[in-house]
Amino acid sequence: MTQTQSTPTPPPPDVDAYPYNLGTFGLPVRTASSTAQRWFDRGLAWTYGFHHIEAERCFRYALAADPECAMAWWGLAYAAGPNYNKAWEMFDAAELKAALATCHEAGANAVKYAVDPVEAALARAIAARFPADRVDNEKEYVKGNTAFAAAMEDAYKQFGEHLDVAVVFADSLMAFAPWQLWDLATGAPKKESRTLEIQAVLERALAHPSATAHPGVLHFYIHLMELSPWPEKALVPADALRELIPDAGHLRHMPGHIDILTGDYRRCIDGNLNAIDADEKYVAQDPANALDFYAFYRLHDYTFPIYAAMFNGQFKVAIDTVDRMEAGLTDEFLRIESPPIMDWMEGFATYRVHVLVRFGRWDDILAIKFPEDRAFYCVTTTFLHYGRALALALTDRHDEAVAEQALFRAARKTILPSRQAFPNTWTSIVDIAEEMLEGEIQYRAGAHETGFEHLRKSISLCDNLIYAEPWGWMQPPRHAYAALQLEQGNVEEAAKAYAEDLGYSDALPRAVRHPNNVWALHGYHECLVRLGRTAEASIIKPQLELALAVADVQVESSCYCRQVNSCCK
């Protein structure tokens, strides 16, 4: 299995019997075949929705109806190549060989058949993207990306009002620094990026009368602004995208990136449950669809209701969504070798532990069975040891917790370097687990300041992860740190941590804040009351009451690691 569809392509299905509702989006292209036009429109919608496999199918169906449709060839080359989430270096050897063969042929044919000036400009650009000699040489791919962007810049100078030209130009620039467009610490564009240029292109496109009906403009603007100091600027584009392409699960999901960052967890849950329904419709069409690389996007969509529900104190939503997600994490699927599914997707198998820790379900954690093949499930095994050690420590079984901690430390050494916590490394993730666990064990052993020292290290490590949604570590370490500071009566220190987490101070980068989350609201309100800051507490109270109304658990602290209200009132 590769990202690119193998040749020959099966006969096209009935164009009128297509099972997916992709709305009315389309781009008229030069073809005498209405069937080719319809398949092209579908392929383009899927491409902007990052479902590259279904996009390739549709472009091939368009070519079956009109072999000389230049834009169908262009679409095939565009969909089969690298993208914002999968740069060239992330292709394995088999994928690379298939993709290059497809992209070279498709790019050349796009140039060959292009007559319309806009189509010809797009065709020249996509043909420039791929190394002429097809060698496995990363420098050649970088040259290809540079040539692609340069050609798209020429196209944009000529046809800047054309929304698809604008989107593809912006995409070509984003390829230089995927997920690295902004410096999270300073809020400035990254030096190696062309972020401000991308912003200018997309904001000019957003001013176009048709922008709110264009999934590419809306999708890429969300990706641009989610890492910025102002994710709220993408709220209106996100709202326009929510139901624009009804059966494109990834596009139904994308507004959730902005919902999370603006603290609208209920809307994130609702939108992503809709995305999951769309994705499951795709799987239901053919069992083989459950085994293709779009699963990475499908599984990603499950993580958003989980993550948002964790911030909302909604255990049932979180654990029910974990159950649904795990149904797709079959051993058969995870053992697919090309692309190496386990390297990309084992991390999804750790979510159950994250949820159970968040909600203090210690007995449930201890009841989880280890995988039979622990070497293959190296990340899963490591995280279960982490969860078990934490559960033992917090149920006053210190010696067992220390023994389990040793097993965690041994297991983390078995994590294969090829395993990805995209875009972070598993080393950076388990480093947080190491400090969290040591902090909790030391604290419960009575070495409170040593415990706090390790928890502060976990906070720093978590804050400095590479941006991802959900964040690479699901429960903010500040929640544990502040809860235990309150347990020790250190109210000012706890209040500071909660204010940072909620974004009530400028201490943290925008992407690291968690506005409106019930846990920090509860903790901060408690701090304000105990400090006699009643006016501020009254301002926080309506937000807290709203958050508590949604939660399905009794929220008494920001972390279930806190065992008493205070030792030192």
Which residues have C-beta within 8 Å of that of residue 549, sequence separation ≥ 6?
none
CB distance 211 to 179 below 8 Å = no
Structure tokens at 482: 């502040």
- Percentage above 90 pLDDT, the chain: 89
pLDDT of res. 333: 94
CA distance 350 to 322: 10
pLDDT of res. 527: 99
Determine which of 85-89, 323-327, 379-383, 431-435 has the lowest per-residue pLDDT on average. 85-89
pLDDT of res. 130: 86
CA distance 70 to 65: 12
**Average confidence (pLDDT) over 243-260:** 99
Residue 421, φ and ψ in degrees, nearest 5: -110, 60
CB distance 393 to 441 below 8 Å = yes
**Average confidence (pLDDT) over 454-477:** 96
Does 566 have pLDDT greater than 80?
Answer: no
pLDDT of res. 140: 74
Does 488 have pLDDT greater than 50?
Answer: yes
Enumerate domains of the chain plus CATH numbers: 15-262 (1.25.40.10), 482-569 (no CATH)
Tens of pLDDT, residues 210-251:
999 999 999 999 999 999 999 999 999 999 999 999 999 999
CA distance 207 to 209: 6
Radius of gyration of the chain (CA): 25
List b or e across 328-367, with b for residues whose CB sees 16 or more CB atoms inside 10 angstroms: bbeeebbebeebbbbbbbbbbbbbbbbbbbbbbbbebbbe
In the 3-class helix/strand/coil scheme, how is 366-433 assigned residue by residue? HHCCCCCCCCCCHHHHHHHHHHHHHHHHCCCCHHHHHHHHHHHHHHHCCCCCCCEECCEEHHHHHHHH
pLDDT of res. 158: 98
pLDDT of res. 93: 84
- Percentage above 70 pLDDT, the chain: 96
pLDDT of res. 137: 61
pLDDT of res. 1: 42
Distances (CA, A) of 490 to 434, 499, 561, 565: 24, 15, 16, 12
Average pLDDT, the chain: 95
Name the residue among 392, 325, 329, 405 with its Cα closest to residue 357. Answer: 392
* pTM (predicted TM-score): 0.94
What are the CB-based long-range contacts (under 8 Å, 24+) for 178-181? 178/84, 178/85, 178/87, 178/423, 179/84, 179/227, 179/423, 179/466, 179/467, 179/468, 180/466, 181/224, 181/227, 181/228
pLDDT of res. 9: 64
pLDDT of res. 80: 96
pLDDT-derived band of residue 422, with 50, 70 and 90 as boundaries? confident
pLDDT of res. 97: 86
Three-state secondary-structure class, residue 163: helix
Which amino acid is residue 555, in one-letter code?
V
Tens of pLDDT, residues 478-487:
999 999 999 9
Alpha helices in 175-294 (DSSP H): 195-206, 215-226, 235-241, 249-253, 255-261, 265-285
CA distance 389 to 381: 12
Tens of pLDDT, residues 9-38:
678 899 999 999 999 999 999 999 999 999
Distances (CA, A) of 148 to 154, 163, 369, 493: 10, 17, 50, 52
Degrees to nearest 5, angle at CA 248 with 355 and 333:
55
Which amino acid is residue 61, in one-letter code?
Y
**Average confidence (pLDDT) over 388-407:** 98
pLDDT of res. 153: 99
Tens of pLDDT, residues 47-91:
999 999 999 999 999 999 999 999 999 999 999 999 999 988 888
CB distance 49 to 215 below 8 Å = yes
CB distance 42 to 57 below 8 Å = no
Query: Which residue has tokens 């804050």?
Result: 463
Name the residue among 123, 203, 131, 205 with its Cα closest to residue 164. Answer: 205
Structure tokens at 55: 């996009």
pLDDT-derived band of residue 192, with 50, 70 and 90 as boundaries? confident
